[in-house]
Chain A
Amino acid sequence: MWFDLDGLPVCFPYDAIYPEQHEYMGELKRALDARGHALLEMPTGTGKTAALISLITSYALANPSRPLRLFYCTRTVHEMEKTLAELRLLFSHLPPADACRLLALGLSSRKNLCVHPQVSASGAVDTGCRRLTASWVCEKAAYDRESATPLCDYFETFDAAARKGDLALYIQPGVYTLADLRSLGRERRICPYFLARHMVKHANVVVYSYQYLLDPRVASIVSSEMQKDCVVVFDEVHNIDNVCIEALSVSIRKQTIQGAKGNLRHISQQIDRFKATDASRLNAEYRRLVDGLAQRGNLPISDAWLANLALPDDILKEAVPGNIRKAEHFLTVLWRLVRNLDERVDTENVVNERPVSFATSIYSLAGIETTTLRFLYDRLQSLLLTLEITDTDEFMHIQKICDFATLIGTYKRGFSIIIEPYDDRMPDIRDPVIQLSCHDASLAIQPVFNRFQTVVITSGTLSPIDLYPRLLNFNPVISRSFTMSLTRDCICPMVLTRGSDQLPVSTKFDMRSDPGVVRNYGRLLLEMASAVPDGIVCFFVSYSYMDGIVSSWNDMGILQEIMQHKLVFIETPDVVETTLALDNYRKACDCGRGAVFFSVARGKVVEGIDFNRHYGRLVIMFGVPFQYTLSKILRARLEYLRETSQIQEGDFLTFDALRQAAQCVGRVIRSKADYGMMIFADKSRHDKRSKLPGWIRSHLHDAHLNLSTDMALHTAREFLRRMAQPYDKAGSSGQTEENLQDKARDAMEM
């Protein structure tokens, strides 16, 4: 349908629009008009994606001076496909004249896009691909046709077309999902990965993982192609600050150092071999560096694993220091650095240092200057290229160390280096580690904000919304939280503070191991398992707590009783095992046996796996998922936040815990037709209600704030019966074209 939004004709691919979508579009339009950033919270299942893309597309169509350039960053491949499907639907509703000019595509890693029959079947797609497509391999093949150097046909087609400049012939305007790209590649015998990467420059909409923008190691692949007037959307990024921090944090263990030593030995052998056979290559590299041309732009673009970290511009323009220009010299510097780190890691007590003092100590002990440190990462990449090394995974360790050095050399603030001889939770096992941890989330994302005029950050859980601008250090022109309009009360959050014996339950440290609390939690799950059909998901605060409580339940016989009603599946840190458990969990829900899934609030499952419909009728959150507060890294970060952003420690911890909890319980409801219950089982929960996202808070009745197990059971039964009644989808809260026009007319008359 088409409707008018403050003078902008908007094409919306559905017949009805929810009022919150309409509002959402209005706010978004204001942000685009103001050419500023926006921060918008709207619960999942309200059609955020559809609202976003239809508004931005319509905006671009209505303003020819601002052509459509949208970068849509999602969290998982699955979300990417969903977004592209929405786009396809939208494009089919656009006027054909407009739609036939637009190109939208998804971009993912080689692993997801490769169509080469052997390479895609092998485990290491990246390495396999490089072995067939690196520039020197191609050159060698072209130079020496008889030697039958294996090449990738798909890449050769791409390369030939790219040289001729007629790549556009291969890809017609339209919407391409990853599967479409692969089938296109197979059909036309062209590499979909390189094609997609090339077409990013010309595409109107690109959908990809937000790692491409935030992680400086991979950012350069595409971000250099973007212009200032692009709109960048980050979807489902409630933990964007953690992603930014992880992108700039490095931890080095004993194994890393050992591996790095092995790598260095390998490299020096390679250098010796090259010296004997092809010294000119090394010399050429040296000369180039002497000329002060940092290797950017000088090497073939197709080998784009040159990365520039989020470095300040003046550093980029500096020349590589003299003492690492020659390959042998560079190698000795690296040896000194690795040996120095090896000594540092063997410490008996915990060390907490700032980058500046750490760099100074490296200078005094190993004689490496800060400026030199800064260039190590780039220099290593250049050397690996020169040595024609395709298997980058093997050199992961030395790359990590160079990455570490470069970060230390570059940033003076916002980081700290923590050396721990063992993990606090397991003091008997010696596991020394050097951690470079970033405390300032704005460092990684700042270039994004500076570069693009409109960055939209949106998610189902961004509460409290005023904290994000402070964490990320930016000024949104619009920041708003929307609620969901529902035809029925399809979510039922409850706060359970007492067991059926009226004793309080909590996962606070002093109550955690109390058998009474453990039993009360067990009884709660048991009662619920007998009253709730199909799937139940339980979240625990940590793996260790989950292990403890599950084994106590086993001893008490509670687990066996639960098994009479439902099968039990448990998440483990192992991805393969967890995937298997999830598959079987789904099967058990499908066939009516019923199942319980035990998961961890900060585990893998909570990010990106949905428990919608009958896969999750109830989610129980045992305790408040606070971070492990004794962790040195967290302490350092809290201190930094207090000093620079004036965020109190308690505020941040509560915010983080509730954000995580909201994320957990939000797993069960993914659309308006769905329904689900949420139980927060902790006595200290009810005073933190105001920090929950609005869409949960609005359904949290006062009567459900302080329940005991039997009261919760009664509420659950009633809720489930009510929700099982047939419900009128036609009368849902959507507004059609006519009502919108009526409304607009009313507004005009007023």
Chain B
Amino acid sequence: MYGVGGGGGGFNASSTASGRRRNQEEDEEDDEEETGDGRVLEAWERAYADDRSWEALQEDESGLLRPIDTKNLVHSQYRRRLLLRSAAAAVRIQKGLIRYLYIVIDLSRAASEMDYRPSRMAVVAKCAEAFIREFFDQNPLSHVGLVTIKDGISHRLTDIGGSPESQIKALMGKLECSGDSSLQNALELIHGYLNQIPSYGHKEVLILYSALNTCDPGDVMETVEKCKKSKIRCSVIGLAAEIFICKHLCEETGGSYTVALDESHFKELLLEHAPPPPAIAEYAAANLIKMGFPQRGAEDLISICSCHKKIKSGAEGYICPRCKVNVCELPTECRTCGLTLVSSPHLARSYHHLFPVAPFDEVTFKLGQKGGQNCYGCQQSLINSDSQSNLHVRCPKCNQHFCFDCDIYIHESLHNCPGCESQRSFSS
């Protein structure tokens, strides 16, 4: 089903999932079928307000309307991003894997504007939720906190912590907006909190900014300087237009500044912040961190957990190896002795950022070419019936061919090349 903010996002997602496109009309029909649970919706039954099918049209040179080739567009965007990332990875940049990130959500008057459906605020909250999940998926060793700006005052919604669920719950409960926005107040508040964290952690701020101005009590430039001095990396995603002060902030503190075009673009930009950023030079020196790998408690052990102060059986929690206190979730910091508690799969999941799968080469299919008729990943035919886009990709190491969807899947989720892995098992 389309969500409330459905729009282009839903369209894109479904078209990428539905595999190869034979032609546009058919694809649209597919789309309809999915929407209506197998029943084909008539044209008048579709919700145009949410669908906005006209946005998927563009004018070509001769003035005719053509559907935008969403699939190729998405893929080319993705490839660009991938190449960018791998270019950075090629020089073996150290990455900050232990991140302390504050997400600032602007809930000023401007967040109630309706240019995103149903409102900027709702879109931001929805995407932030997805982002928090993705963030913990990619950075299991990291911590997130939430700050909102409202009526010119910034307010901390949640303490910095490692649990996605509690963050999301806190965010969804507080969605109303009013008043002015103040960048300085938010930065000052976060600066106060982030100054306390241990030196090996990477301090980051991600601001989702709806407003176009900031009403500050003092000189915001001084605050920017302060953040720069304390090595807080500030990034901003704007929802409306480029603002000088945000750009300045990001340039000074080494963050990135982007402005979203529409909802799907916003989500894309937000998710770009999920992989760990390159480490700041000062932290590049190797640093040993003491960590504990707690074990799951025994079935019959009943104890009071340190985080919720509730009686729990041991199987629901973990026991800190140093002080033997019970904690509910990993990763976290032990409330009693302050030891960082992780499990070994968390460490292993952070590993792929350091050794990513090499980007695949784009190749055009030539007739009469032997092998590689089918995608090595999903076994679908690579020959396109309308022969419009017979582009596909090839792994530079094992020379196996893959379709676009598998390309994305391998790089985004799997982090292993099936071709290379199977070759390795053959040879060994």
Q: How far is the CA of A191 from the CA of B247 in the complex (A)?
A: 45
**Which residues of A490-538 are within 8 A (CB) of B?**
530-534
Cβ of A726 under 8 Å from chain B: yes
B259 lies within 8 A of A724 (CB): yes
What's the nearest-Cβ distance from chain B to residue A341, in Å? 55
A534 lies within 8 A of B219 (CB): no
Contact with B along A268-287 (1 / 0, CB 8 A): 00000000000000000000
Chain A residues near B216: list those with CB within 8 A: 591-593
Q: How far is the CA of A701 from the CA of B216 in the complex (A)?
A: 39
A717 lies within 8 A of B240 (CB): yes
* CB contact under 8 A between A592 and B240, given known A531-B212, A532-B212, A533-B212: no
A721 lies within 8 A of B240 (CB): yes
What's the nearest-Cβ distance from chain B to residue A531, in Å? 7
B259 lies within 8 A of A591 (CB): no
Q: Choose from A594, A725, A726 the contact partner of B212 (Cβ within 8 Å).
A: A594
Cβ of B225 under 8 Å from chain A: no
Q: With contacts A530-B212, A722-B261, A724-B241 known, what are 4 further pairs, Cβ within 8 A?
A: A566-B213, A591-B216, A591-B219, A593-B215
Chain A residues near B238: list those with CB within 8 A: 724
* CB contact under 8 A between A720 and B241, given known A725-B261, A726-B258: yes
Tell me the number of A-to-B contacts counted with CB atoms below 8 Å: 73
A592 lies within 8 A of B259 (CB): no
Report which residue of A531, A533, A722 has the largest number of chain B beta carbons within 10 angstroms of its beta carbon. A533
Q: Would you list 6 pairs from A and B whose C-beta atoms are within 8 A, ordered by A residue?
A: A590-B245, A592-B243, A594-B213, A717-B240, A721-B259, A723-B242
A724 lies within 8 A of B220 (CB): no
Chain B residues near A717: list those with CB within 8 A: 115, 240-241
Cβ of A672 under 8 Å from chain B: no
Chain B residues near A617: list those with CB within 8 A: 241
**Which residues of A586-602 are within 8 A (CB) of B?**
589-594
Cβ of B146 under 8 Å from chain A: no
Chain A residues near B183: list those with CB within 8 A: 592
Report which residue of A530, A592, A593, A594 has the largest number of chain B beta carbons within 10 angstroms of its beta carbon. A592
Cβ of B426 under 8 Å from chain A: no
A534 lies within 8 A of B259 (CB): no
Q: Choose from A530, A531, A534, A725 the contact partner of B244 (Cβ within 8 Å).
A: A534
Q: How far is the CA of A532 from the CA of B240 in the complex (A)?
A: 8
Chain B residues near A614: list those with CB within 8 A: 242-244
A593 lies within 8 A of B213 (CB): yes
Q: How far is the CA of A590 from the CA of B261 in the complex (A)?
A: 24
**Which residues of B286-318 are within 8 A (CB) of A?**
none
Q: How far is the CA of A527 from the CA of B244 in the complex (A)?
A: 20
Cβ of B101 under 8 Å from chain A: no
**Which residues of A696-732 are within 8 A (CB) of B?**
717, 720-726
Q: How far is the CA of A193 from the CA of B220 in the complex (A)?
A: 43
Cβ of B416 under 8 Å from chain A: no
Q: How far is the CA of A482 from the CA of B228 in the complex (A)?
A: 45
Q: Choose from B115, B213, B243, B260 the contact partner of A565 (Cβ within 8 Å).
A: B213
Cβ of B246 under 8 Å from chain A: yes
Cβ of A613 under 8 Å from chain B: yes
B213 lies within 8 A of A724 (CB): no
Chain B residues near A564: list those with CB within 8 A: 180
The 7 closest A-B pairs by CB, nearest first: A592-B245, A724-B259, A720-B241, A614-B244, A724-B242, A594-B213, A592-B214
Chain B residues near A534: list those with CB within 8 A: 243-244
**Which residues of B121-166 are within 8 A (CB) of A?**
none
Chain A residues near B246: list those with CB within 8 A: 592
A592 lies within 8 A of B241 (CB): no
**Nearest-neighbor residue (CB-CB) of A721 within chain B:** B261
What's the nearest-Cβ distance from chain B to residue A591, in Å? 5
What's the nearest-Cβ distance from chain B to residue A726, in Å? 7
**Nearest-neighbor residue (CB-CB) of A720 within chain B:** B241
* CB contact under 8 A between A590 and B212, given known A717-B115, A722-B261, A726-B258: no
**Nearest-neighbor residue (CB-CB) of A723 within chain B:** B242
Chain A residues near B242: list those with CB within 8 A: 533, 614, 720, 723-724
Chain A residues near B244: list those with CB within 8 A: 533-534, 589-590, 592, 613-614
Contact with B along A28-65 (1 / 0, CB 8 A): 00000000000000000000000000000000000000
Q: How far is the CA of A100 from the CA of B346 in the complex (A)?
A: 67
B214 lies within 8 A of A593 (CB): yes
Residues on A lying within 8 angstroms of B by beta carbon are 530-534, 564-566, 589-594, 613-614, 617, 717, 720-726
A533 lies within 8 A of B240 (CB): yes
Cβ of B221 under 8 Å from chain A: yes
**Nearest-neighbor residue (CB-CB) of A592 within chain B:** B245
Chain A residues near B240: list those with CB within 8 A: 531, 533, 717, 720-721
Q: How far is the CA of A725 from the CA of B221 in the complex (A)?
A: 24
What's the nearest-Cβ distance from chain A to residue B203, in Å? 22
Chain B residues near A724: list those with CB within 8 A: 238, 241-242, 258-259
Q: How far is the CA of A721 from the CA of B115 in the complex (A)?
A: 12
**Which residues of B171-195 are within 8 A (CB) of A?**
180, 183
Contact with A along B257-286 (1 / 0, CB 8 A): 011110000000000000000000000000
Chain B residues near A720: list those with CB within 8 A: 240-242
**Nearest-neighbor residue (CB-CB) of A718 within chain B:** B261
Q: How far is the CA of A726 from the CA of B259 in the complex (A)?
A: 9
Chain B residues near A593: list those with CB within 8 A: 213-216
**Which residues of B314-344 are within 8 A (CB) of A?**
none
**Nearest-neighbor residue (CB-CB) of A594 within chain B:** B213
Report which residue of B214, B220, B245, B261 has the largest number of chain A beta carbons within 10 angstroms of its beta carbon. B245
Q: How far is the CA of A367 from the CA of B155 in the complex (A)?
A: 87
Chain A residues near B260: list those with CB within 8 A: 721
Q: Choose from B220, B241, B245 the contact partner of A721 (Cβ within 8 Å).
A: B241
What's the nearest-Cβ distance from chain A to residue B384, in Å? 30
What's the nearest-Cβ distance from chain A to residue B227, in Å? 15
Q: How far is the CA of A530 from the CA of B213 in the complex (A)?
A: 9
Q: Choose from B219, B220, B241, B261 the contact partner of A533 (Cβ within 8 Å).
A: B241
Contact with A along B219-255 (1 / 0, CB 8 A): 1110000000000000000101111111000000000
Chain A residues near B258: list those with CB within 8 A: 724-726
What's the nearest-Cβ distance from chain A to residue B56, in Å? 16
Q: How far is the CA of A91 from the CA of B347 in the complex (A)?
A: 59
**Nearest-neighbor residue (CB-CB) of B221 within chain A:** A591
Q: How far is the CA of A497 from the CA of B242 in the complex (A)?
A: 27
What's the nearest-Cβ distance from chain B to residue A262, in Å? 51
Chain A residues near B243: list those with CB within 8 A: 533-534, 592, 614
Q: How far is the CA of A534 from the CA of B110 in the complex (A)?
A: 15
What's the nearest-Cβ distance from chain B to residue A716, in Å? 9
Q: How far is the CA of A614 from the CA of B214 in the complex (A)?
A: 15
Chain B residues near A589: list those with CB within 8 A: 244
Chain A residues near B180: list those with CB within 8 A: 564
**Nearest-neighbor residue (CB-CB) of B262 within chain A:** A721
What's the nearest-Cβ distance from chain B to residue A675, in Å? 9
Q: How far is the CA of A533 from the CA of B210 in the complex (A)?
A: 11
Q: How far is the CA of A564 from the CA of B109 in the complex (A)?
A: 10
Q: How far is the CA of A30 from the CA of B382 in the complex (A)?
A: 59
Report which residue of B241, B245, B260 has the largest number of chain A beta carbons within 10 angstroms of its beta carbon. B241
Chain B residues near A594: list those with CB within 8 A: 212-213
What's the nearest-Cβ distance from chain B to residue A663, in Å? 25
What's the nearest-Cβ distance from chain B to residue A490, in Å? 12
**Nearest-neighbor residue (CB-CB) of B110 within chain A:** A530
Q: How far is the CA of A534 from the CA of B183 in the complex (A)?
A: 14
Q: How far is the CA of A488 from the CA of B258 in the complex (A)?
A: 18
What's the nearest-Cβ distance from chain A to residue B121, in Å? 16
**Nearest-neighbor residue (CB-CB) of B242 within chain A:** A724
Chain A residues near B241: list those with CB within 8 A: 531-533, 617, 717, 720-721, 723-724
B115 lies within 8 A of A533 (CB): no
Q: How far is the CA of A722 from the CA of B220 in the complex (A)?
A: 27
Chain B residues near A725: list those with CB within 8 A: 258-259, 261
**Nearest-neighbor residue (CB-CB) of A588 within chain B:** B213
**Nearest-neighbor residue (CB-CB) of B214 within chain A:** A592
**Nearest-neighbor residue (CB-CB) of A614 within chain B:** B244
Q: How far is the CA of A565 from the CA of B179 in the complex (A)?
A: 11
* CB contact under 8 A between A565 and B261, given known A534-B243, A591-B221, A717-B240: no
